[in-house]
Amino acid sequence: MARRVYEAWKGSNKFIFGGRLIFGPDAWSLPFTLLLIITPVTFFSAFVATHLRHEFLPNSAGDAILVVAILFTVLVLILLFLTSARDPGIVPRNSHPPEEELCYDTTVSSDGRQTPIVQIPRTKEVMVYGVPVRVKYCDTCMLYRPPRCSHCSICNNCVERFDHHCPWVGQCIGVRNYRYFFMFVSCATLLCIYVFSMSALYIKVLMDNHQGTVWRAMRLSPWSVMLMIYCFISLWFVGGLTGFHLYLISTNQTTYENFRYRSDNRINVYNRGVSSNFLETFCSRVKPSRNDFRAFVKEEPPRSIALATTWEQGEEGGEQENREEQRRQKVEDDQDIDEDVMKLQHRGNAEEGSDHRVDIDQSRVGSNERAPTIRSEARYGNWGARSNAQEDVIAGGSSARESSRSYAAAEEGR
């Protein structure tokens, strides 16, 4: 049965609603984040906003205080959802290394044997706004990361324009959800300021109505004091984060780039001016996702042709070298045997003294008394042929010597 992409996903993400929503592996932190947002707003609406509504009952200001708080909260929750439940800009990983980037080489072992290997350059340069930028190869995703892309070790994905992985939203922050993340943080900051201000206003109203001091008013509304303390502490986090990202946007940096390359003093090729940087972040079109998580997985045959060919060539080359070595050894053996045969011939002739050369006048010998001729083959196809030839040569030498002796005896009788 065919599986969908989200079912065969190799990253650490979590999917719900059939792959329609994607979260990080730490999505369990989302309920805690929702609790930190909804709980103070609930107490504010119940113990502060309703009392202020009665104080400003003659006009609509009292209703507006409660409505603004609810609208701010809904906006923050929507931005949180858009940040954490969408693809942050994941680059689809490859099923095999890019063949056009493969480099073939050989290594020589201790015994002199050459082994073919395949290497992939760790970096390469691409041009960005006319400036060369070095990009790295990702072994996990088997691709060269696009500029400003980095591999998230938590989600186990390469993310375009990777900013950081936020545990509070349970998702990576990348090119497709960065603006929503910034708006979520900035709206949470405004919500904290609003709740803090309205709580302080209620304390001021209590002081005016009861003609008392601030301590007396704080005892009359302890929830206002608790909300002011909570919002003050939260402002140090979300407020500071908002200010830091305002700086990053104005200089067109990411959190990862700011912390990673702060000490390098390298030129930021992406900085195009404050106004252009803000327009790029908030007014540019959001890039469509490069992943269709609900699509069916297309089974691809294993593409190891380049690697297999390399090794097969190496094996064939080794076999060919072995065959050449055997052929050279065979020729050398043949030459050695020929030399041995010639030595045997000379040794047999040497035993007869001056008769070592058989120069017989064939005209003086009858056709039936012709001396045999000594012949030797230069090369033979097999060992049997070589041994038979050797025996024929030796036998031929002995017959020649006997014929010579018979011829000499006949001459003496005449």
Catalytic residues: 166
CB contact at 8 A, 107 and 205: no
3 state SS of 102: coil
Give strand pairing partners of 126: 133
CA atoms of 178 and 281, how far apart (whole Å): 8
Give Cα 401 distance to the centre of its chain: 84
How big is the CA angle at 43 (ends 74 and 204), to the nearest 5 degrees? 110
CA atoms of 206 and 223, how far apart (whole Å): 13
CA atoms of 159 and 173, how far apart (whole Å): 8
The crossing angle, in degrees rounded to 10, of helices 274-282 and 240-251 is 110
- Element (H or E) spanning 310, and its range? helix 305-350
CB contact at 8 A, 120 and 102: yes
